[in-house]
């Protein structure tokens, strides 16, 4: 499935199709995966960037069927902006996460927040919407962003994971809105569920999701251990810590890696394990 063409819908299982948006980047992998749920009436999850060709491709995939809801996991610009054009074209309501108006201090140009996102209905954890033969249940999963929701499709045992869990890469957690402690808790939350398959917004479906989530929790604990070992050897600043932790990383991803290190340091500081003085971090006495 790695060579999926842009703009052509692919039926993944009876209730789920996906369509790739034309926004590949080092942060989005091949681009944003839009998911269409249902057969006679549809939900469109994470409509993606507001690109006229992409909106036209979504309308071709919808093929005149009623759209019950345009569903949004979070308001990064590669996920929600097309919701307006699609709502105008179909009359469907925009449903999902709460709006967030923040200046993004992070390095991801494509991760800045969609300030114009205007939902008709905000779903809280456990609330649901439905159509013919399908239900989507919101699963609050803050961490990547504070407003992030996953959506469960109980009829298929599937979970649409947005940017919370992706098969191709770990999620970027960029403070101040990104929160490592919340992200770890949201990974734990998925471990308590028994979803059969995850459909992330970037990358291929994840067919053994529990194993992946356990691996991601382990990966973050490993990163935390690395930071503690480095600080145990002496006080340091974030660029120096990142350099030692992410050997051989694509230079374009280095600023994002520094944000993740900062997210870990804030978590460790809040737990009383490290302290900061200006740009220098050290073990708490
Ligand atoms: Zn995102």
The answer, yes or no, to whether residue 83 has pLDDT greater than 60, is yes
Query: Ligand 1 center to residue 205 CA distance, Å?
Result: 17
The pTM of this model reads 0.93
The answer, yes or no, to whether residue 251 has pLDDT greater than 90, is no
Query: Ligand 1 center to residue 144 CA distance, Å?
Result: 7
Query: Ligand 1 center to residue 202 CA distance, Å?
Result: 10
What angle do helix axes 238-245 and 254-270 make, rounded to 10 degrees?
110
Query: Do strands 121-122 and 128-131 pair parallel, antiparallel, or not at all (unpaired)?
Result: unpaired
Length of the chain counted residue by residue:
285
pLDDT number for residue 101: 64
Burial status of residue 47 (CB atoms within 10 A of its CB: 0-12, 13-18, 19 or more): buried
Query: Ligand 1 center to residue 236 CA distance, Å?
Result: 29
CA-based radius of gyration for the chain: 19
Query: Ligand 1 center to residue 63 CA distance, Å?
Result: 28
* Mean pLDDT score of the chain: 93
Tell me the per-residue pLDDT of 84-127, one tens digit each, with 9 for 90 and over.
999 999 999 999 999 986 655 554 444 588 989 999 999 999 99
Query: Ligand 1 center to residue 279 CA distance, Å?
Result: 27
Tell me the per-residue pLDDT of 152-189, one tens digit each, with 9 for 90 and over.
999 999 999 999 999 888 888 989 889 999 999 999 99
Contact 127, 105 (CB under 8 A): no
Top pLDDT among 3 and 135 is at 135
Query: Ligand 1 center to residue 285 CA distance, Å?
Result: 36
Q: Tokens 């009623």 correspond to what residue?
A: 66
Query: Ligand 1 center to residue 76 CA distance, Å?
Result: 5
pLDDT number for residue 105: 54
Top pLDDT among 278 and 168 is at 278
Rounded CA gap, 5 and 33, in Å? 11
């Amino acid at each position: 499935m790695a060579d999926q063409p842009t703009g052509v819908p692919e039926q993944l299982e009876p209730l789920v199709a996906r369509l790739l948006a034309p926004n590949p980047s080092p942060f989005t992998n091949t681009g944003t995966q839009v998911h269409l749920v249902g057969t006679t009436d549809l939900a469109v999850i994470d409509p993606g960037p507001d690109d006229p060709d992409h909106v036209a491709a979504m309308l071709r995939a919808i093929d005149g069927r009623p759209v019950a809801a345009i569903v949004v996991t979070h308001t990064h610009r590669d996920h929600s902006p097309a919701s307006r054009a699609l709502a105008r074209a179909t009359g469907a309501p925009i449903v999902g996460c709460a709006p967030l108006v923040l200046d993004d201090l992070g390095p991801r140009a494509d991760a800045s927040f969609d300030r114009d996102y205007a939902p008709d209905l905000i779903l809280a954890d456990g609330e649901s919407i439905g159509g013919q033969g399908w239900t989507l249940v919101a699963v609050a999963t803050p961490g990547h962003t504070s407003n992030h929701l996953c959506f469960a499709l109980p009829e298929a045992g599937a979970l649409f994971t947005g940017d919370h869990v992706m098969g191709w890469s770990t999620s970027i957690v960029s403070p101040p809105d990104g929160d490592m402690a919340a992200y770890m808790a949201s990974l734990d939350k998925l471990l308590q569920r028994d979803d059969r398959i995850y459909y992330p917004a970037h990358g291929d479906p994840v067919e053994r999701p529990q194993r992946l989530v356990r691996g991601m929790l382990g990966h973050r604990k490993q990163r935390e251990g690395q930071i503690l070992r480095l600080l145990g050897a002496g006080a340091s600043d974030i660029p120096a810590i990142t350099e030692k932790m992410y050997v051989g990383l694509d230079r374009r991803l280095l600023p994002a890696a520094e944000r993740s290190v900062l997210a870990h340091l804030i978590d460790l500081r809040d737990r009383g394990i490290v302290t900061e003085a200006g740009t220098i971090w050290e073990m708490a006495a």
